[in-house]
């Protein structure tokens, strides 16, 4: 992404840790990126690498025990971490909005879908109830809910998992945010529906010109919807690149492993040559590159010293095998 484009969201060296009694475990170890207006950043990586924690930090919604231990987050030039809680609450939904992994945790089960949409709009905007209702119906139509006007009166449980995800999108968009963060639903929805949902968000993103951060396991869809991709591993960014370049030439051994699994899936190979081993436990390993224990190219230095994130033709990669280190 070029530096000339207007940056909407800027994350600088974001660090997050969880406290459990006296123990403090780092789970995000310095994540940075810039999101230009109208662009989509995809955040990918195996389960537990810190994708959701990163997203929750942006909205100051970390669960108990979680705290931001370092870094900065700027939205439209405004330092979010310096804002009083009330000011940040007003920004949530209105300027930066999130679609959560599990819609049932964010939809109120005892309020109709229409009421939830209308109340959200009225809490932030000084418009008539009638206009808010009209906007809610039009949003439900936009996200593909049929018979939107009648279905406004139904409760979340009366919708399927995929439809609930669509309602979440309508809720996230009802105040026309500048930035949308979409944490891919990992449960309840099959891969085809997940892809449909991401495509729908992409369509709405393009229509409205907002910026978006897509968190997903589905690399095949990333190639289709993202402008830039950030690969997280063990709470670190190991590679960041324009999507087309990342897919054409992954630089980090972890990204190469992820893409290799994808190619195998496409070819329907029976035994998947996935990356051997497991992602690290939070805070592990204590020294060196987090991927070293699973990396087929690791040598002694990788286990002892964390490689820095280096720039390479507009891309970034964290690996002792790259750039001037190689
Ligand atoms: N409430 C919590 N208390 C303690 N540790 C937590 C908590 N929530 C997350 N973590 C830890 O933070 C790390 C990152 O978790 P996160 O939920 O961000 O992963 P993720 O990349 O979103 O995974 P997934 O793809 O499964 O959604 C994990 O190692 C997890 O154990
Ligand atoms: Mg997650």
Mean pLDDT for the chain?
89
The answer to whether 318 and 236 have CB atoms below 8 angstroms apart is yes
Binning pLDDT at 50, 70 and 90, where does residue 185 land?
A: low
Q: Which is higher by pLDDT, 104 or 266?
A: 104
- Counting ligands in written order, the one closest to the CA of 183 is 2
What percentage of the chain has pLDDT greater than the value 90? 69
Q: Which of 10-14, 49-53, 131-135, 271-275 has the lowest mean pLDDT?
A: 271-275
Question: How confident is the model over 98-128, as pLDDT tens digits?
Answer: 988 776 677 899 999 999 999 999 999 999 9
For residue 91, what pLDDT is reported? Answer: 92
Q: Which residues pair with 172 in a beta bridge?
A: none
Q: Which residue from 152, 133, 145 is spatially nearest to 169, judged by alpha carbons?
A: 145
CA of 184 to the centre of ligand 2 (A): 8
Q: In whole angstroms, what is the distance from residue 163 CA to residue 94 CA?
A: 23
Q: How far apart are CA 180 and CA 40, in angstroms?
A: 9
Contact 26, 282 (CB under 8 A): yes
Tens-place pLDDT, residues 79-92: 999 999 899 988 98
Identify the band that residue 3 occupies on the pLDDT scale cut at 50, 70 and 90.
very low
Ligand 1: list residues with CB < 6 Å.
18, 27, 45, 47-53, 63, 65-66, 186, 282
Domains identified in the chain and CATH numbers: 7-95+177-325 (3.40.50.300), 104-176 (no CATH)
Residue 295 DSSP class: -
Model confidence at 312, pLDDT cuts 50, 70, 90, reads confident
**Measured in angstroms, how far is the CA atom of residue 52 from the centroid of ligand 1?**
7
Question: Which ligand does the CA of 20 lie closest to?
Answer: 1
pLDDT surpassing 50 at residue 53:
yes
Per-residue pLDDT, averaged over 133-141, amounts to: 96
Compare 133 and 280 and report the one with higher pLDDT. 133
pLDDT, position 84:
93
Nearest CA to ligand 1 atom 5: 18
Mean pLDDT of 41-67: 93
Query: What's the gap in Å between 205 CA and the centre of ligand 1?
Result: 27
- pLDDT of residue 264 exceeding 80, the answer is no
Separation CA 211–CA 213 (nearest Å):
7
H helix intervals, 183-313: 191-208, 219-225, 243-248, 253-266, 300-304
Query: pLDDT band at 192, cuts 50/70/90?
Result: confident
- Give the pLDDT confidence score for residue 315 in this predicted structure: 95
Q: Are 88 and 80 in contact (CB under 8 A)?
A: yes
| Across 250-271, average pLDDT | 74
pLDDT of residue 64: 94
pLDDT tens-digit series, residues 194-212:
788 888 889 999 999 999 9
Give the distance (Å) from ligand 2 centre to CA of residue 51. Answer: 5
Whether the Cβ atoms of residue 308 and residue 322 lie closer than 8 Å to each other: no
């Amino acid at each position: 992404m070029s530096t000339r484009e207007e940056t909407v969201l800027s994350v600088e060296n974001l660090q997050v840790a969880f406290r459990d009694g006296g123990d403090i475990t780092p789970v995000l170890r310095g994540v940075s990126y810039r999101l230009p207006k109208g662009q989509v950043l995809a955040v990918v990586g195996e389960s537990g690498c810190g994708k959701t924690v990163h997203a929750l930090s942006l909205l100051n919604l970390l669960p108990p025990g979680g705290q931001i231990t370092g870094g900065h987050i700027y939205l439209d030039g405004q330092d979010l971490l310096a804002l009083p809680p009330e000011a940040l609450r007003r920004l949530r939904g209105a300027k930066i909005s999130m679609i959560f992994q599990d819609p049932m945790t964010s939809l109120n089960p005892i309020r109709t879908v229409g009421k939830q949409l209308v109340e959200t709009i009225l809490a932030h905007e000084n418009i008539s109830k009638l206009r808010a209702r009209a906007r809610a119906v039009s949003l439900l139509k936009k996200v593909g809910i049929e018979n939107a006007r009648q279905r406004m009166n139904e409760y979340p449980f009366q919708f399927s998992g995929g439809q609930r995800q669509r309602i979440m999108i309508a809720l996230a968009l009802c105040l026309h945010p500048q930035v949308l963060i979409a944490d891919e639903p990992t449960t309840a929805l099959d891969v085809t529906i997940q892809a449909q949902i991401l495509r729908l968000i992409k369509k709405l993103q393009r229509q409205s010109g907002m910026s978006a951060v897509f968190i997903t396991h589905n690399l095949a869809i990333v190639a289709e919807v993202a402008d830039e991709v950030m690969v997280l591993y063990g709470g670190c960014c190991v590679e960041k690149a324009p999507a087309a370049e990342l897919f054409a030439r992954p630089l980090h051994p972890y990204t190469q492993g992820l893409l290799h699994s994808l190619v195998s899936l496409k070819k329907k190979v029976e035994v998947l040559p996935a990356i051997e081993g497991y992602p690290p436990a939070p805070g592990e390993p204590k020294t060196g590159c987090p991927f070293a224990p699973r990396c087929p190219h690791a040598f002694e230095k990788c286990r002892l010293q964390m490689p820095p994130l280096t720039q390479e033709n507009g891309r970034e990669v964290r690996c002792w095998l790259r750039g001037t280190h190689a």
